[in-house]
Amino acid sequence: MKRTAEGEQNPTAVFDYQVKKAAFDKRFLPVSREDMESRGWEEYDVLLITADAYVDHPSFGTAIISRVLESEGYRVAICAQPKFDSPQEILSYGAPRYAVMINGGNMDPMVANYTVAKRKRSYDYYSPGGQAGLRPDHATIVYSKLARKAFPGIPILIGGIEASLRRFAHYDYWKDGVVPSILVESGADILMYGMGELTVRELMMRIARGDSLERIRDIRGTCYLAKERPQEDFFAFAECAPYPKLCEDKVEYAKATRLQYREQDHTSATAILQRHRYQGKDLYLVQNPPQRPLTTPELDAVYDLPFVRYYHPCYEAFGGIPAIEEVEFSIAHNRGCIGGCSFCALAFHQGRFIRCRSIDSVVREAELITKSPRFKGYINDVGGPTANFRKPSCAKQKEHGLCRNRVCLAPEPCPALEADHSEYIELLKRVRALPGVKKVFVRSGIRFDYILADKEHGMEFLRELVLHHVSGQLKVAPEHCSDHVLASMNKPPFAVFEKFVKQYETINARYGLKQFLVPYLMSSHPGSRTEDAIKLAEYLNKTGRHPEQVQDFYPTPGTISTCMYFTGIDPRTMKEVYVPRTTEEKARQRALLQWDRPENYDLCRKALLEAGRKDLIGSGKNCLIRDHKGRSGGQSFERKAKKNSRPSKK
């Protein structure tokens, strides 16, 4: 049944949850009690509850963690998108021997459920048929409380992106205030943050051998709650401001964010302590230092696990799971990101230390893909968080860790940066040479500044990209053209992007290709004023670009930019930063980036007049809008559209 956020059932639902019980497929892990019994299981070890539909593909955290546990000999059952108005569906599985594990899905459930304007979404890529309403708001909290009712006394372990980014007291955009750690609100026993393969193995080993939860206090990559201030028995502590203080003091909130980001290096981080006063009780949240990254052989072993690489067949009658379309024939070759963009949570979740699979491992996965009956010859992506990273940024990282007070690429590349695309070039050549492969795309984000920083192989990689891995258009993320906005984003100055554009166009011209750059742009990021949006609109007008989509800044949990949005302070410098907050101002900034649309005319005109830019209203070459309601000034919209036309994607 389709359910509302409040848990009410809707009789117009498409998806009948009882279909799980009649769709046993032993290639997958069991999805019901009946499914377990069909395999002869009298008992099982772990119940894994997820807010996404069950897709057994390594792009999904549920699939990776469940297969890792299976490889260790544990019996795991999957409970995907259970009813959240009662524990009845969870109870139907029976109690697991060791633990209930819970994640909120591949993205934060609030982002999955709501637009940046806080309107309910009508589509969910991670649900059957794209049906919205099948996951609760704050899913990890909801499922944890239901699991506690269903199985009192069974350890409840939470992880995934929602738990990881909400592990400390944090600003919640949808509540517009600071909320406690998700570990406090959920009532779970232990939180696993970051990439969890090593952590979950060690945690389950300790639970299975009979260690009490009170004794499991020394595992990296975990958080736990203590009723009394803990002693430094295992790790040294750094302490950030307590939850009550963060609610009233934005300077302290910014300092806490800075500390939390600085202590995310597995080679040098200390544990972090944060006191919570919650429902009349003092609790101490402890974050142990991050887990070490997997080695290349360990990462290879994870991706060699027997994934089906598809959604469970119980969803077939309802249109399948839309999210599989982009990832089924995609390959992740790396983890981590040295980019450090302010609005991205990667540094706080996966970390900044680059680790990668061997080329042989990636080729094995590509060969497996070519054997699928659904494969048509096109590998959609060989990438990762950032596609063109395959090495640590410098030799010092392995021994001394990453620098705490700067990132590797912005505002300019660190002198110690060792940019090198040679191995990635070799990887792409081997994959595209496989029998049955017609084209290998690179659709993950690429760092154009990293390409330019590679003096030996950067242009060779760009040539390979243009000739073999782009089809009509390459998507890149300059995000803005105003340097002080880019500084807030921790992105390189705009001149770097312009240099990349020239190199890209030169290579295309050399080989007689007409391939376009499609820039990702963001409006209303902290630091951006109306004048900055006008500047970006002028650049787009001058270059004949008409963005089909513009991303409004979304203050998601756990990012530097969200801290700026809430506090008006950049936690890296502790300096004030301008924040566009009103609905009107944010609407104007977005409208200015799509100035040529008739529905945006009034907003653009008002913004231009108030900014004293009447020179951009009229019929002149550089004008954005006419002096009466209609299409843009200067060139006609039709001419610009023709100039910027692109071949359609196959």
- Predicted confidence band at 14 (pLDDT cuts at 50, 70, 90)? very low
Confidence at residue 500, expressed as pLDDT on a 0 to 100 scale = 97
Confidence at residue 548, expressed as pLDDT on a 0 to 100 scale = 83
CA distance 130 to 122: 9
- Predicted confidence band at 628 (pLDDT cuts at 50, 70, 90)? confident
Q: Which two tokens stand for residue 106?
A: 């591949």
Confidence at residue 436, expressed as pLDDT on a 0 to 100 scale = 96
Task: Report pTM.
Answer: 0.92
- Predicted confidence band at 404 (pLDDT cuts at 50, 70, 90)? confident
CA distance 461 to 438: 19
Percentage of the residues of the chain whose pLDDT score is greater than 90? 82
Q: Dump pLDDT digits (tens) for 210-249.
A: 999 999 999 999 999 999 888 888 899 999 999 999 999 9
Q: Dump pLDDT digits (tens) for 48-95.
A: 999 999 999 999 999 999 999 999 999 999 999 999 999 999 999 999
At residue 387, φ and ψ (nearest 5 deg) are -65, -40
The distance between the two most distant Cα atoms of the chain, rounded to a whole number of Å, is 78
Please say whether the beta carbons of 115 and 123 come within 8 A.
no
- Predicted confidence band at 401 (pLDDT cuts at 50, 70, 90)? confident
Average pLDDT score, the chain:
91
List Cβ neighbours of 549 (8 Å cut-off, separation of 6 or more): none
What mean pLDDT comes out for the span 456-461? 97
- Length of the chain in terms of residues written: 650
What mean pLDDT comes out for the span 521-536? 97
CA distance 272 to 293: 19
Confidence check: pLDDT of 12 > 60: no
Query: How many C-beta neighbours within 10 Å does residue 452 have?
Result: 19
CA distance 444 to 381: 7
Please say whether the beta carbons of 366 and 431 come within 8 A.
yes
Give the count of alpha carbons within 13 A of 200, CB side only: 31
What mean pLDDT comes out for the span 184-211? 96
3-state secondary structure of 560: helix
Confidence at residue 422, expressed as pLDDT on a 0 to 100 scale = 97
- b (16+ CB within 10 A) / e for 91-112: bebbbbebbbbbbbbbbbbbbb
Q: Which residue has the higher pLDDT, 635 or 373?
A: 373
Q: Which two tokens stand for residue 568?
A: 């008006």
Confidence at residue 171, expressed as pLDDT on a 0 to 100 scale = 98
- Predicted confidence band at 23 (pLDDT cuts at 50, 70, 90)? low
Query: How many C-beta neighbours within 10 Å does residue 493 have?
Result: 18
Give the count of alpha carbons within 13 A of 414, CB side only: 21
